[in-house]
Amino acid sequence: MPQLDHFVTLGRSGLRVSPLCLGAMTFGEDWGFGSPVEQSLEVIDAYLDAGGNFIDTANIYTKGHSEQIIGDHLCSKPALRDSLVIATKWLGNMFPGDPNAGGAHRKNLYTSVEHSLRRLQTDYIDLLWMHFWDQHTPIDETMRALDDLVRAGKVRYVGFSDTPAWKCAQAQLLAHFNSWSPLIALQIEYSLAERTPEADLIPMAKEMGMGVTPWSPLKGGLLTGKYARNKRPAEGDAKRADWLEKHLENEKTLNLLDTLIEVAAETERPPAEVALAWCRQQSGIHSSIIGARTLEQLKSNLASLSLTLSDEHLKKLNDDSKPDLPFPHPFLDFVRTTVQNDTTINGVTCDAWPLSPKDDSERW
C-alpha cells in the first residue's frame, strides 16, 4: 500500500519525492482567499509529520507571501531544510510596468531566483520550475541560464510547467546536445476532468525523461463530491460559482460526476480520494500536487494513498472521462489496424486490415 514516505524518483533523476506533493498556492490570504499563516503552518507540519518531503510554491503565489511563510517556518526548524525538496517557480511579473520583471530571459531569471532565495531563506532551490511558456524569449537562452544556476549551486534541478509539448521537447534536446542540465519534471493540469494532456504532454514527458506532477488533480474542487448533477455551488460562493457552473452545464462532466460518486460508494471512500487515487495510478504520473487549505482537507487527500482502484473501477472512470483529442490522434487510432494488421504488440491487439493482401497471389 503506497504511503507518503514511499518515495519515488522524479523523472530521469535520482531525486526522491513523496507521491503527493504539498502545494502552497493558498498559503497566505493576500489574494483575498487562502489560509492564514497559522493554519498554513499547521498544514505544513501535518504533511511533514505524515512523512512527506515535497513542497511546491511559486514567486507570485500570494504576492510572494507563500514563499515567505515556508521560509520563516524552515528557519524555525533549520534541521529540516536539507531533508526537504522545496520547489518554486519563476516567470510571473510582480512589478507592474517593468517589462523585464517577468519572462524566461536571463535577467528576470537571475533576479527572480535571488528574491525567492531571500523569501525562502535558503541557499538553494531543490527544483526550479519555469512557470509557463514565455513566447518572447528564445528557449536556448532560458536553458543555458538555468544550467548556469545549477552550476552555481543555487538550483539543484529544473523543470517546466504549463508549456507546449513541442517546446518542452525542443528544450530537452538542446539540453542534451549541449550537456546542459536537463528537465527532470513537467508540471501540468491533469485530472479525471482534464485528460487532454494524454494527447502529447504526458507521452512526451515519458519519452523525454520527465516525471509528471499534476496540479489541480481535483479540478479546483469539482471532483470532491461537493458538486453533482443536483448539487450546485452555494449562492454565496460567487467566486467559485461562475467557474463551476461552466463545467456543471456540460453533460459529459455530469456523467463523469455520476460515475465518480458511484465508484466512491462502491469503494466506501469519498469522491476526492477516488479521484486522487485514479490520478496516482495513471502511467507517467509521479507526484500529484494537493492544495489543502485545512487539516481536514489534507487528511482526506493523504488518505487517498491507501486506496488502489480495481481494473473495473478504473475502466468505468476512464470510459466516462475519455477526452476528445486533437488531430492526428483520432486518425492514428483509426489506422492502427493498418500498422499492426491482425497482430498483438505490447499488449495491444488489432483486427486485420481489410485492404491488405489476403494471400501471396494478391501481392505485387
pLDDT computed for residue 243 by the predictor: 72
- In the numeric block, which cell numbers belong to residue 237? 460562493
Residue 238, C-alpha cell as written in the block: 460567487
Dihedral class, residue 70 (left if φ above 0, else alpha if ψ from -120 to 50, else beta): alpha
Alpha-carbon span 225 to 222, nearest angstrom? 7
Residues taking part in catalysis = 61
Q: Is the distance from CB of 85 to CB of 127 less than 8 angstroms?
A: yes
Best CA proximity match to 125, nearest among 97, 95, 86:
86
For 230, the grid coordinates are 443536483
CA torsion 52-54-57-59 (nearest 10°) is 140
Q: Where are the domains of the chain?
A: 8-326, 332-364
Q: How far apart are CA 296 and CA 216, in angstroms?
A: 18
Spatial separation of the C-alpha atoms in residues 96 and 48, rounded to whole Å: 36
For 319-343, give the DSSP string. Answer: HHH---PPTTHHHHHHTHHHHHSS-
Separation between Cα atoms, residue 253 and residue 28, nearest integer Å: 32
pLDDT of residue 247: 82
pLDDT confidence of residue 28 = 97
How far apart are the two ends of the chain, measured CA to CA in Å? 57
Question: Collapsing DSSP states into helix, strand and coil, what is residue 314?
Answer: helix
User: Which amino acid does the sequence have at 344?
Assistant: T
CATH architecture label of 8-326: Alpha-Beta Barrel (3.20)
With beta carbons less than 8 A apart as the criterion, state whether 294 and 43 touch.
yes
Residues 197, 171: contact at Cβ < 8 Å? Answer: no
Half-sphere exposure of 174 (CA within 13 A, CB side): 17
The string of pLDDT tens digits covering residues 167-213 is 999 999 999 999 999 999 999 999 999 999 999 999 999 999 999 99
| Burial call 6-35: b when 16+ CB within 10 Å, e when fewer | ebbebbebebebbbbbbbbbbbbeeeeebb
Q: Which residues contact 342 (CB under 8 A, 6 or more apart)?
A: 350, 351, 352, 353
Half-sphere exposure of 16 (CA within 13 A, CB side): 10
Backbone phi and psi for residue 338, each to the nearest 5 degrees, phi listed first: -65, -35
For residue 240, what pLDDT is reported?
A: 64
Burial (CB < 10 A; 0-12, 13-18, 19+), residue 268, is exposed
> Phi-psi category of 223—alpha, beta or left, where left has phi over 0 and alpha has psi -120 to 50?
alpha
Is residue 113 within 8 Å of residue 150, measured between CB atoms?
no
> Got the DSSP string for 219-251?
GGGTTSSS-BTTB---TT-HHHHHHHHHHHT-H
pLDDT tens for each residue of the chain, 364 residues long: 679 999 999 999 999 999 999 999 999 999 999 999 999 999 999 999 999 999 999 999 999 999 999 999 999 998 999 999 999 999 999 999 999 999 999 999 999 999 999 999 999 999 999 999 999 999 999 999 999 999 999 999 999 999 999 999 999 999 999 999 999 999 999 999 999 999 999 999 999 999 999 999 999 999 999 988 888 777 656 566 677 778 888 899 999 999 999 999 999 999 999 999 999 999 999 999 999 889 999 999 999 999 999 999 999 999 999 999 999 999 999 999 999 999 999 999 999 999 999 888 998 8
